[in-house]
Structure 1
Amino acid sequence: SKDVEHRTSKYRKNVIAADHGALKRAIRPARGFQRMTTASATTINGFEVMRMIRRGRYILQQPGTAGEVRRVGQRFGLAA
């Protein structure tokens, strides 16, 4: 049998909660949409893409703003 080590961390989820809180603050002005499908299809996805680019979670084909524009265009199916 394998030895299993049980580790607990009291504050493990705080990093995720802090990240989610920042997203909620960014989305708050966009809460006036009539339907959630409209909000999630455009605005919320845009917030998420830009946050991922800024945090380095997307690999850009080009450095700088041109790479960001191209990545967002690809994500939303636009010609960039």
Structure 2
Amino acid sequence: MLDADEIFALAMDQPAVKAAVKKRASQIAARARKEFGRAGLDATVRIRDHPLPTGRTSVDVVADFDDGVEGMDRRVGKILLRAGREGRSRG
């Protein structure tokens, strides 16, 4: 008989769950790219797997940029956070 943790792990390993998480990440990445373009920033947005010790399926949306400009990392971070928040509010 399976316990709750095993059931959770099996659910998180389902292709449909992984696809839904990546779809949401793609939406957030697209929103971030749009905001970077609007702000005139040259940043490459990508999605990377982020395995969690709990077994939950997770990915990160990250931006690579030229950090030679002071304060750029903070500005890029704010844009990514805003894009993620907007993705959450749309459920």
Q: What TM-score comes out, normalization by structure 2 length?
A: 0.42
| Greater strand proportion | 2
More helix by share: 1
Higher relative contact order (CA 8 A, sep 6+): 2
